[in-house]
Amino acid sequence: MDIVDGILKKDKRSIAKAITLIESEPEKAFDILKEIYRFTGKALVLGVTGPPGAGKSTLICQLAKRLREKNKTVGILAVDPTSPFTGGAILGDRIRMQELTKDEGVYIRSMGTRGRLGGLAQACFDAVKILDAAGMDYIIVETVGVGQSEVDIISLADIVVLVLVPGMGDEVQVIKAGIMEIGDIFVVNKADLDGADRLVSQIKMNLELSHAKNSFVPPILKTIAHTAFGIEELELAINQVYNILMGTNMLYGRRKDHLKQELQELVYEIYIDKIKNRFSAELEVFAEKILKRETDPYSAAHIILSRMEGEYSNDRKN
């Protein structure tokens, strides 16, 4: 079966092959991504982020089960910290979700960050497109809410769910710069622990301070993921936020911003690859000269860029 046809027919093997290709040999995956792109744009992409130990995987598992009860298909991408030894993802999230793996309406994949300080690799953005083209109603991307991933997730998800837990210093974390702008829905998980109500109050107070009057104020929910307490309310909140974003045209604006950001990143990655491939020898020469203080990095960089621009001009003439 052709990989593209397989993706469109929801064949899990074809989906797996395509995602493996975008992780290992992205240049070979471009043709696949080009062919499937016109079939994308229908899935609702949820970003679920929060500190390690917040119970995100269990929460996602329960939410996926809830969505499956309503006959919705679900794709899950668990983005784990990259192993510096193998460059691959830790499979802890996938192990926790084993009960869902046999469900034909659920696709689960662990992915690495590929060394970007907890950020999301381009492969993750492309994997979302593959699951979207495969007809998934919901695509859930789980990231560890540390480092760059907190920023990156808002460049990918339609709706961001920020998961916090009492007793882990989240009362302080929640007020750090930028964190309040990330979440569209705030979830205090493990709400049976001491301090849950205090954390809810802290989040509420900071939301009141950080959001302008008449603007969309994110809902705050309490859950106990391992018992499924609050999961129904979470699903309702997701639908309510989606309706608000659609009704105010904010979702269109977000998706447009996502595409602009992704296009910029894609151009950057192609540009960097071109420098590495075409100018590797010159990089070596300039490194030697810089080391000997015969030139400086800034001048060398501009020389390389000028030569690249010259090649681009010649290519256009030809």
Q: Write the pLDDT tens digit of every residue in 26-75.
A: 888 999 999 999 999 999 999 998 888 888 888 999 999 999 999 999 99
pLDDT at position 314 over 70 = no
Q: Which position has the higher pLDDT, 180 or 278?
A: 278
Topology adopted by domain 38-248: Rossmann fold (3.40.50)
Mean pLDDT, rounded, for 216-232: 94
When pLDDT is cut at 50, 70 and 90, the band that residue 90 belongs to is very low
pLDDT at position 8 over 80 = yes
Partners of 141 in the β-ladder: 47, 77
With 0-12 / 13-18 / 19 or more C-beta atoms within 10 angstroms meaning exposed / middle / buried, residue 45 is buried
pLDDT at position 151 over 80 = no
Mean pLDDT, rounded, for 84-105: 59
pLDDT at position 273 over 60 = yes
Confidence (pLDDT) at 131:
98
Mean pLDDT, rounded, for 143-168: 80
Mean pLDDT, rounded, for 112-124: 65
Mean pLDDT, rounded, for 280-294: 94
Confidence (pLDDT) at 275:
82
Confidence (pLDDT) at 83:
31
Handedness of CA 186, 64, 143, 139 (dihedral sign): negative
Confidence (pLDDT) at 214:
54
Q: Which position has the higher pLDDT, 204 or 180?
A: 204
Q: Record the tokens describing residue 232, joined without a space.
A: 């129904």
Distance CA 141, CA 160 (A): 9
Q: Find all residues with CB under 8 Å of 177, minimum gap 6, and list them.
A: none
Amino acid present at 34:
K
Q: Find all residues with CB under 8 Å of 259, minimum gap 6, and list them.
A: none
DSSP line for 113-164: -TTSTT---HHHHHHHHHHHHTT-SEEEEEEESSTTHHHHGGGT-SEEEEEE
For the chain, give the mean pLDDT.
84
Confidence (pLDDT) at 312:
64
| 3-state SS, residue 89 | strand
Confidence (pLDDT) at 128:
96
Closest by CA position to 56, among listed 175, 241, 225: 225
Distance CA 303, CA 279 (A): 11
Query: Contact 188/203 with Cβ under 8 angstroms?
Result: yes
Q: Which position has the higher pLDDT, 107 or 118?
A: 107
Q: For the beta carbon of residue 217, count every other beta carbon within 10 angstroms.
A: 13
Confidence (pLDDT) at 213:
56
When pLDDT is cut at 50, 70 and 90, the band that residue 87 belongs to is very low
Q: Which position has the higher pLDDT, 185 or 94?
A: 185
Confidence (pLDDT) at 277:
83
Please name the residue ranges forming H helices in the chain.
3-8, 12-24, 26-36, 56-69, 92-96, 98-101, 122-133, 149-152, 170-173, 179-182, 196-210, 231-247, 250-278, 280-291, 297-317
Domain with CATH 3.40.50.300 in the chain: 38-248
Distance CA 87, CA 108 (A): 19
Q: Give tens-digit pLDDT for 227-272.
A: 999 999 999 999 999 999 999 999 999 999 999 988 888 888 788 8
pLDDT at position 316 over 60 = no
When pLDDT is cut at 50, 70 and 90, the band that residue 181 belongs to is confident
Q: Which position has the higher pLDDT, 57 or 118?
A: 57
Distance CA 315, CA 312 (A): 5
Confidence (pLDDT) at 88:
43
Q: Record the tokens describing residue 47, joined without a space.
A: 């970003």
Query: Contact 154/62 with Cβ under 8 angstroms?
Result: no
pLDDT at position 161 over 80 = yes
Confidence (pLDDT) at 82:
37
- Chain center to CA of 257: 15
Confidence (pLDDT) at 209:
77
